[in-house]
Chains A and B, each alone.
Chain A
Amino acid sequence: MILELAITLVKIFFIIGVTVAFFAPILTWVERKQSAIMQDRVGANRADILGFTALGLFHAIADALKMFTKEDFIPQGANKILHTLSPIVAVVPAILTFAVIPFGGQYELWGESVNLVVSDLDVGLLFVFAIASLATYGYVIAGWASNNNWSLLGSMRTASQMISYEVTMGLTIIGVLMVYGTMKLTEIGAAQEDFLNWGFFLQPLGFFMFLAASIAENKRVPFDAPEAESELVAGYFTEYSGLKFGMFLMAEFIEMVTIGAIVTILFFGAWHIPFLPTATLLSWFDFLGTSGANLVVMFINVAVFFAKVVFFIWFQMTIRWTLPRFRYDQIMKLGWKILLPLSLANILVTGLVILAVH
């Protein structure tokens, strides 16, 4: 009992530490540096500690210090309670989704079965989407409580965009569910041990539509109409400063990690290496004993999983710094007229193929 509790606590600390304490600050640096390098610039390189700049990595610390020390401003006529509540409502679901995301398989360590997921829910995938769509409330409340026209416009756009793309997203994953026959994220991951069984090969159209819809859900360029800085100042977080503003940013970056993780699990073989089944990997480390081999394989799998996540974060960043922003009507047209019929057709074709195969 105590051991189980300890294992769960370690897993929680690991996943929260990786996402909130590692990815969220690092991604602020990555975004600046990658955009700079893509555009033949130098990027952040001035913040230093005792003369060491470390390629500008200390800018993350400088940002955090700046956010902590800034004035926490609430505009006149704003609803104080909702204004304070909305960043929390935005950031908590983003962190909460990691409760069901598996970052490794199941391992036998010294008689103890370790499942590398905090909570192995039967409806894991549904839980992710249920929680992630709760974040919409945070953005809508933020615009409503700010007593600012830009904010309200931004939050209205957020609401319409997120509702439109949630439909596509939900219909896209139905294809994946039909193929793997389960909603458990751990089982979907485990089913992709064979390279040709990866979701990308079984659901290629689904992958692209899911990626587009999830980037739209995250409200990043090219779908950043809700916070379009050239039209709406900063959209729904115009009136936010200090750590509340930082929480909105953090929610965005954590959602990027979530998208990377979900795409990896659903479409890119989760923690598996192509053409290298876990049994082969285990046999390489047989000389360490069963538990030792399991431990080594566990570390390899976690590393592979996060390498894939990092790749998809890089991919999202590349998209973000390549494409211009869509007009609002183009976003709606893409969502309702193109992606929605395509996802329905995808379900139909998937069903027919499954019927034909069986």
Chain B
Amino acid sequence: MAYFVDRNVKMTWWERSYLPEIIKGMCITSRHFFLNLFGFIPFFLGQRKKRPIFTVYYPEEMVHIPVAYRGRPVLAINEHNRPNCVACGLCEAACPAYCIDIVPGGNTGKQNEVERWPKEFTIDYAVCIFCGNCEEACPEEAIFMSDDYEIPMLDRESMKYNLEQLSVPIEQLKDRVEFTRRMYGKWNY
């Protein structure tokens, strides 16, 4: 059924005087004014945790970001204080913006040494498009999209993060690890 708006509304004399709408509007705005004005008092007295106005005071407070948010990609450091990464290069291949650069290091014949690890791992955040393909491609749960979005820099060189700058302990990424397991179903088979 076609939807149409009847513009020739027959208004009564009282409605056409524009007064009832003015009064209604004034009621709404002054209600908000007084609710917000006196709603602050319990917050400042410490009786309530939240302000009635939900504006986030940005530099002092941060928004609570949902786990599905794709911030800057980071490397997970496992409990042995090593990156989970085995320098397979799948993320490098999956990256549509070619922002990942890996130099692998191999086993040198010592005992109790891991097979492969990244000697250098560079992500250029100036190029990264935050698509999350690296995370999806990673077979080792090594690279994750964090909730950190504050990466402004003054020049392009410092936008290139090396292995140390990228490393984040895996405890901080627990929610995201759970989320990726659920999302990509790697360990469900």
Say yes or no: B26 contacts A322, CB within 8 Å. Answer: yes
B30 within 8 A of A: yes
B28 proximity list for chain A (CB < 8 A)? 322
Say yes or no: A42 contacts B57, CB within 8 Å. Answer: yes
In the bound complex, how far is the Cα of B28 from the Cα of A42, in angstroms? 18
Q: Determine which of A34, A40, A321 lies in contact with B53 in the assembled complex, contact meaning CB atoms within 8 Å.
A: A40
7 closest pairs, A vs B, by CB?
A: A42-B55, A322-B25, A322-B29, A37-B36, A38-B33, A38-B29, A38-B32
A318 within 8 A of B: yes
Say yes or no: B26 contacts A42, CB within 8 Å. Answer: no
Nearest B residue to A338 via CB reads B17
A41 within 8 A of B: yes
B36 proximity list for chain A (CB < 8 A)? 37-38, 40
A186 to chain B, nearest CB (A): 32
A323 within 8 A of B: yes
In the bound complex, how far is the Cα of B32 from the Cα of A34, in angstroms? 10
- Interface of A toward B, CB cutoff 8 Å: 34, 37-42, 318-319, 321-323
Say yes or no: A319 contacts B53, CB within 8 Å. Answer: no
In the bound complex, how far is the Cα of B26 from the Cα of A39, in angstroms? 12
User: How many A-B contacts at CB < 8 Å in the complex?
Assistant: 34
Looking at A41, A318, A322, the one whose CB has the most chain B CB atoms below 10 A away is: A322
In the bound complex, how far is the Cα of B29 from the Cα of A42, in angstroms? 15
In the bound complex, how far is the Cα of B183 from the Cα of A73, in angstroms? 60
A147 to chain B, nearest CB (A): 38
In the bound complex, how far is the Cα of B28 from the Cα of A12, in angstroms? 40
Say yes or no: A41 contacts B29, CB within 8 Å. Answer: no
A42 proximity list for chain B (CB < 8 A)? 53, 55, 57
Size bracket of the B interface: 10 to 19
Within 8 A of A (CB), among B60-98: none
Nearest A residue to B39 via CB reads A37
User: With contacts A37-B33, A37-B37 known, is A323 near B57, CB below 8 A?
Assistant: no
Nearest A residue to B27 via CB reads A322
A318 proximity list for chain B (CB < 8 A)? 26, 29-30, 33
List 15 extra interface pairs beyond A42-B55, A318-B26, CB under 8 A: A34-B33, A37-B32, A37-B37, A37-B53, A38-B29, A38-B30, A39-B32, A40-B36, A42-B57, A319-B26, A322-B22, A322-B25, A322-B26, A322-B28, A322-B29
A336 to chain B, nearest CB (A): 16
Say yes or no: A41 contacts B53, CB within 8 Å. Answer: yes
Say yes or no: B55 contacts A41, CB within 8 Å. Answer: yes
Q: Interface code B35-65, partner A: CB below 8 Å = 1, 0 otherwise?
A: 0110000000000000001110100000000
In the bound complex, how far is the Cα of B57 from the Cα of A321, in angstroms? 24
Looking at B25, B28, B33, B36, the one whose CB has the most chain A CB atoms below 10 A away is: B33
In the bound complex, how far is the Cα of B38 from the Cα of A125, in angstroms? 39
* Interchain Cβ contacts under 8 Å between A and B, 22 examples: A34-B33, A37-B36, A37-B53, A38-B29, A38-B30, A38-B36, A39-B32, A40-B32, A40-B36, A41-B53, A41-B55, A42-B53, A42-B55, A42-B57, A318-B30, A318-B33, A319-B26, A321-B29, A322-B22, A322-B25, A322-B28, A322-B29
In the bound complex, how far is the Cα of B185 from the Cα of A314, in angstroms? 59
B107 to chain A, nearest CB (A): 56
A40 proximity list for chain B (CB < 8 A)? 32, 36, 53-54
A37 proximity list for chain B (CB < 8 A)? 32-33, 36-37, 53
Say yes or no: B25 contacts A323, CB within 8 Å. Answer: yes
A39 proximity list for chain B (CB < 8 A)? 32
In the bound complex, how far is the Cα of B31 from the Cα of A40, in angstroms? 11
Nearest A residue to B57 via CB reads A42
A323 to chain B, nearest CB (A): 7
B57 proximity list for chain A (CB < 8 A)? 42
Nearest B residue to A41 via CB reads B55
B14 to chain A, nearest CB (A): 14
B125 to chain A, nearest CB (A): 28
A26 to chain B, nearest CB (A): 16
B32 proximity list for chain A (CB < 8 A)? 37-40
Nearest B residue to A330 via CB reads B18
In the bound complex, how far is the Cα of B33 from the Cα of A41, in angstroms? 10
In the bound complex, how far is the Cα of B30 from the Cα of A321, in angstroms? 10
In the bound complex, how far is the Cα of B32 from the Cα of A300, in angstroms? 31
A322 proximity list for chain B (CB < 8 A)? 22, 25-26, 28-29
B25 proximity list for chain A (CB < 8 A)? 322-323
B37 proximity list for chain A (CB < 8 A)? 37
Nearest B residue to A40 via CB reads B53
